[in-house]
């Protein structure tokens, strides 16, 4: 019998309610086919690091700058780093951070190595791994590089931008003057000449490229040229597609670490400009945040190590080719792909052409609800032509998670059939609610059951992360 105050014992004993919820959620993730492009299942090793003892500590501040140009082996040279910490450890506000320093320096260096280009080697990149998520990372870039009231340009939320790119309900749109750009209504593609004209007219201090639901990689060189012409910073928000592109083109790059990167929830900011690096570092801490989540940085270091492997490269390639095949297969089944196609991990289906006998078009929300009933999880999304975020006509579909589970051509073809069967069996109608007419849809019971059986068979054919705690 001890007389300490440590709550020993497993979750199952200490809180069976939450333990049960976790079991149910784990089962849901195993049994459903999850197509939300911003979701993926993180390797168990990353989760192990995430819950480890680094969670317990505070480490406000940053590791020594010198570690930015050290190799991973030098950073991990305890014989050199620990005495150095004793001599110089005054960059952090807390003591007890000798290992936190090493883990953060390691995560920064691994990110720099992954994003290095022939022009900008790892030594020339400045990395901040402390942002707690994508939105705070973007806020920190804004407060580091702009003054409240400054003009910037970002993609219209309704056509593919993110809330942090200038939505009037978010800080980006409230504190700064956001000028949106969008797609050409006919081609549904970015029109760089039009973006240039908007930039010439408004002279923004910063332009964001990189999107939440526009399914193509931007033409970075075109954006660079526009920014140079008007004297704006180019900010790349590659939250979704981290891993491809840029390096030397954008002034500053931000991305979340939990989407295609398959890491813990967090974000990274990278720049090759030392003047921007110091502003961004100060804007993240102490400007935007307090203590960094050291456990997240440890988990991130693991994810970045995995991201340097051939298995990861193949996963990304397969993810992109799966998305493009899914778009082709859905189009072959007669569904309209918004924006025409995809060259990334996500695509959007325009639900409007599916109409009921009273002319009601299928709404994105109802389509997503029906698919969820059938066991296929995606989200409603606005597409070009929509005028309000809550009245979206599309669904957004992404292939990161299913590709992690081993989906290749044949599974994608089966999946396309199940999605098309569900959407095409649905019969939209208008329901007169208390305040207004609401879109709804019916689906034939047997058709739904058949899709459910198809989902169960498909799900059983591919891998599940048994390390993550399979249900019995």
Residue positions annotated with a catalytic role: 58, 60, 237, 256, 259, 265
For the bound state, the minimum distance from the C-beta of residue 212 to ligand PLP, rounded and expressed in Å, comes to: 4
Which of residues 239 and 294 has its CB atom nearest to ligand PLP in the complex? Answer: 239
- Residues 322, 210, 267, 40: what is their CA dihedral angle, to the nearest 10 degrees? -20
Q: Which region, left, alpha or beta, applies to residue 132 given φ > 0 means left and ψ of -120 to 50 means alpha?
A: alpha
Which of residues 267 and 330 has its CB atom nearest to ligand PLP in the complex? Answer: 267
Residue 140 burial by Cβ neighbours in a 10 Å radius (0-12, 13-18, 19+):
buried
Kindly give, in sequence order, each residue whose CB lies less than 8 Å from that of residue 359, ignoring residues fewer than 6 positions away. none
Among 164, 260, 316, 392, binds ligand PLP (CB under 6 A): 164
Q: Which residue has the tokens 């939105």?
A: 135
For the bound state, the minimum distance from the C-beta of residue 135 to ligand PLP, rounded and expressed in Å, comes to: 3
Site string for ligand PLP, 27-66 (x = CB under 6 A): -----------x----------------------------
Q: What is the DSSP string of 271-308?
A: ES-HHHHHHHHHIIIIII-SS--HHHHHHHHHHHHHHT
For the bound state, the minimum distance from the C-beta of residue 129 to ligand PLP, rounded and expressed in Å, comes to: 14
Site string for ligand PLP, 221-250 (x = CB under 6 A): ----------------x-xx----------
Asked whether position 380 contacts ligand PLP by CB under 6 A, the answer is no
CB 136 within 8 A of CB 142: no
Site string for ligand PLP, 182-221 (x = CB under 6 A): ----------------------------xxx---------
Among 97, 128, 143, 256, binds ligand PLP (CB under 6 A): 256
Site string for ligand PLP, 117-156 (x = CB under 6 A): ----------------xxx--x------------------
Among 47, 81, 110, 162, binds ligand PLP (CB under 6 A): 162
The H or E element spanning position 224 is helix 220-230
Per DSSP bridges, beta strands 267-271 and 126-128 are: antiparallel
Which of residues 37 and 61 has its CB atom nearest to ligand PLP in the complex? Answer: 37
Position of minimal CB gap to ligand PLP: 134
Which of residues 135 and 354 has its CB atom nearest to ligand PLP in the complex? Answer: 135
Which of residues 61 and 263 has its CB atom nearest to ligand PLP in the complex? Answer: 263
Q: Which region, left, alpha or beta, applies to residue 41 given φ > 0 means left and ψ of -120 to 50 means alpha?
A: beta
Total residues interacting with ligand PLP, rule: CB under 6 A: 14
Residue 88 burial by Cβ neighbours in a 10 Å radius (0-12, 13-18, 19+):
exposed
For the bound state, the minimum distance from the C-beta of residue 27 to ligand PLP, rounded and expressed in Å, comes to: 25
| Backbone phi and psi for residue 4, each to the nearest 5 degrees, phi listed first | -90, -175
Which of residues 33 and 135 has its CB atom nearest to ligand PLP in the complex? Answer: 135
| Backbone phi and psi for residue 124, each to the nearest 5 degrees, phi listed first | -95, 0
Which of residues 397 and 418 has its CB atom nearest to ligand PLP in the complex? Answer: 397
Which of residues 127 and 242 has its CB atom nearest to ligand PLP in the complex? Answer: 242
For the bound state, the minimum distance from the C-beta of residue 140 to ligand PLP, rounded and expressed in Å, comes to: 12
Which of residues 128 and 164 has its CB atom nearest to ligand PLP in the complex? Answer: 164
For the bound state, the minimum distance from the C-beta of residue 205 to ligand PLP, rounded and expressed in Å, comes to: 19
For the bound state, the minimum distance from the C-beta of residue 238 to ligand PLP, rounded and expressed in Å, comes to: 8
Tell me the sheet residues that pair with 207.
Answer: 153, 234
Distance (Å, whole) CA 12 – CA 157: 43
For the bound state, the minimum distance from the C-beta of residue 103 to ligand PLP, rounded and expressed in Å, comes to: 21
CB 319 within 8 A of CB 399: yes
For the bound state, the minimum distance from the C-beta of residue 24 to ligand PLP, rounded and expressed in Å, comes to: 24
How many CA atoms within 13 Å lie on the side-chain side of 174?
5
Residue 429 burial by Cβ neighbours in a 10 Å radius (0-12, 13-18, 19+):
middle
Closest among 234, 296, 236 to 267, alpha carbons compared: 296
Q: What is the DSSP string of 195-223?
A: HHHHHHHH--SEEEE--SS--S---HHHH
| Alpha-carbon radius of gyration of the chain | 24
State both tokens at 362: 């299928």
- Residues 100, 106, 107, 112: what is their CA dihedral angle, to the nearest 10 degrees? 150
Distance (Å, whole) CA 453 – CA 449: 6
Which residues of the chain form contacts with ligand PLP (CB under 6 A)?
38, 133-135, 138, 162, 164, 210-212, 237, 239-240, 256
């Amino acid at each position: 019998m001890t007389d300490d105050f440590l709550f020993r014992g497993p979750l199952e004993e200490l809180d069976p309610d939450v333990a049960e919820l976790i079991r149910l959620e784990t089962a849901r993730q195993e049994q459903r086919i999850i197509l939300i492009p911003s979701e993926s299942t993180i390797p168990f090793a990353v989760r192990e690091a995430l819950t480890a003892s680094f969670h317990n500590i505070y480490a406000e501040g940053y590791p020594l700058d010198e570690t930015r140009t050290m190799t991973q082996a030098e950073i991990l040279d305890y014989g050199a780093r620990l005495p150095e910490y004793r001599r110089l450890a005054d960059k952090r506000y807390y003591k007890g951070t000798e290992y936190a320093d090493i883990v953060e320096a390691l995560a920064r260096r691994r990110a720099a190595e992954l994003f290095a280009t022939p022009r900008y080697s790892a030594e020339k990149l400045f990395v901040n791994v402390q942002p707690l998520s994508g939105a705070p990372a973007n806020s920190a870039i804004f407060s580091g590089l702009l003054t409240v009231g400054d003009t910037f340009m970002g993609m219209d939320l309704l056509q593919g931008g993110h809330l942090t790119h200038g939505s009037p309900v978010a800080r980006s749109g409230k504190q700064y003057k956001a000028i949106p750009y969008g797609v050409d209504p006919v081609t549904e593609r970015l029109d760089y000449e039009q973006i240039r004209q908007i930039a010439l007219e408004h002279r923004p201090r910063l332009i964001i490229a990189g999107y939440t639901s526009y399914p193509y990689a931007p033409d970075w060189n075109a954006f660079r040229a526009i920014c140079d012409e008007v004297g704006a910073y180019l900010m790349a928000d590659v939250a979704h597609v981290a891993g491809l592109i840029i390096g030397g083109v954008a002034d500053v790059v931000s991305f979340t670490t939990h989407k295609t990167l398959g890491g813990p929830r967090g974000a990274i900011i990278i720049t090759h400009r030392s003047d921007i690096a110091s502003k961004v570092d100060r804007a993240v801490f102490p400007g935007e945040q307090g203590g960094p989540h050291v456990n997240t940085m440890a988990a991130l270091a693991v994810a970045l190590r995995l991201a340097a492997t051939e298995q990861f490269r193949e996963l990304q390639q397969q993810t992109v080719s799966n998305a493009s095949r899914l778009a082709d297969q859905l189009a072959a089944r007669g569904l309209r792909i918004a924006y025409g196609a995809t060259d990334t991990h996500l695509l959007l289906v325009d639900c409007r052409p599916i109409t009921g006998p009273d002319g009601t078009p299928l709404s994105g929300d109802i389509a997503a609800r029906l698919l969820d009933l059938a066991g296929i999880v995606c989200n409603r999304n606005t597409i070009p032509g929509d005028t309000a975020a809550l009245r979206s006509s599309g669904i957004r579909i992404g292939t990161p998670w299913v590709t992690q589970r081993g989906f290749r051509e044949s599974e994608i073809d089966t999946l396309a059939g199940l999605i098309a069967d569900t959407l095409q069996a649905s019969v939209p109608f208008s329901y007169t609610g208390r305040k207004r007419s609401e879109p709804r849809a019916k689906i034939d019971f047997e058709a739904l059951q058949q899709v459910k059986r198809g989902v169960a068979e498909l799900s059983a054919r591919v891998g599940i992360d048994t390390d993550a705690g399979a249900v019995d």
